Amino acid sequence: MRCLIVADLHYSLPQYDWVTQLADRFDVVIIAGDHLDLSSLVDLRAQSVVVRKYIDLLRAKTRLITCSGNHDLDTRDMFGEKVAYWVSGLGQRGVPSDGQSFKCNNTLFTICPWWDGPITRDRVAAQLKADASKRTGAWFWVHHAPPDNSPTSWGGDRHFGDAPLLEWIAEYSPDLVFSGHVHRSPFTKGGSWVDRIGTSWVFNAGHQFGAPPAHIIVDTDKQEAIWISAAGVQSVRLDQPLTRPVPALGAIPSWAILPDPAGGQNPV
């Protein structure tokens, strides 16, 4: 199974175009939250209408999975906690999203919403507990905020991660966790796009402007994850211990080279 993982597209239409044009190369495409941009001049509702159109295009080409991020919250629930109503509604459009899980090739994916308060947080805890009993093979989580105290949540002067997620990872040992949220982590000293907590691998591709977005390609058959960004290409083997510094590759391995939608080959 080959997966493309991005996050924090923040209403960058060139980045959505790029993901859409290459989506059919992957068995699964994961967008790990922050579709919208709270600082944009474009009204949030109008942004979500445009992004939903991209999501329909993506869904027609591949298995798309997505969760909400803190920029996606568009309403309050009955308890007064902010939620991304439009993201949780994607489940009805055939896109596994907030609060849902699904199995693909004996891999269980659990998709967590952004939690804004204790009730949603407890709901995530209950969701993970319930899904733990459904696990028969690998277990992958999609959770916008990376775990706290991890290089994947390092912002340069402190961590911006999620403390409960760290506890949940320790309790359940998922195989892979896909996050985003802390845009600078992979690009700053002391930060990284990848971490290992116990036996779990944790990823945050980071954020860069323009296409292509910083992205991660995971190939479960090759047991390899590759990070491709303006800062270079790095790779880890999922069946080996994590070593730092993470090995930088001089070029994208041939199996992971994507065609450039504009022609030629995908530039790093």
Contact stretch for Zn ion (CB under 5 A) within 51-59, 68-76, 135-143, 191-199: 68-76
Contact stretch for Zn ion (CB under 5 A) within 4-12, 103-111, 148-156, 242-250: 4-12
Report the residue number, 38 or 262, with the smaller CB distance to Zn ion: 38
Minimal distance in Å, beta carbon 149 to Zn ion? Answer: 18
Site string for Zn ion, 29-48 (x = CB under 5 A): -----x--------------
CA dist., res. 183 & res. 198, Å (int) = 24
- DSSP string across 194-230: EEEETTEEEEE----SSSSPPEEEEETTTTEEEEEET
Minimal distance in Å, beta carbon 34 to Zn ion? Answer: 4
Contact stretch for Zn ion (CB under 5 A) within 5-13, 56-64, 102-110, 186-194: 5-13
Report the residue number, 116 or 219, with the smaller CB distance to Zn ion: 116
Minimal distance in Å, beta carbon 84 to Zn ion? Answer: 11
Contact stretch for Zn ion (CB under 5 A) within 62-70, 80-88, 127-135, 157-165: 62-70
Minimal distance in Å, beta carbon 33 to Zn ion? Answer: 6
Nearest Cα to Cα of residue 220 among 155, 176, 163: 176
# chain residues binding Zn ion, by CB under 5 A: 5
Minimal distance in Å, beta carbon 160 to Zn ion? Answer: 9
Name the region of 124 (left: φ>0; alpha: ψ -120 to 50; beta: rest). Answer: alpha
Residues 6+ apart with CB under 8 A from 158: none
CA dist., res. 114 & res. 33, Å (int) = 8
Residue pair 54/16 in contact by the 8 Å Cβ criterion = yes
CA 69 to chain centre: 10
Q: Tell me which of 82, 159, 181, 215 binds Zn ion, using CB under 5 A.
A: 181
Report the residue number, 8 or 81, with the smaller CB distance to Zn ion: 8
Residues making contact with Zn ion (CB under 5 A): 8, 34, 69-70, 181
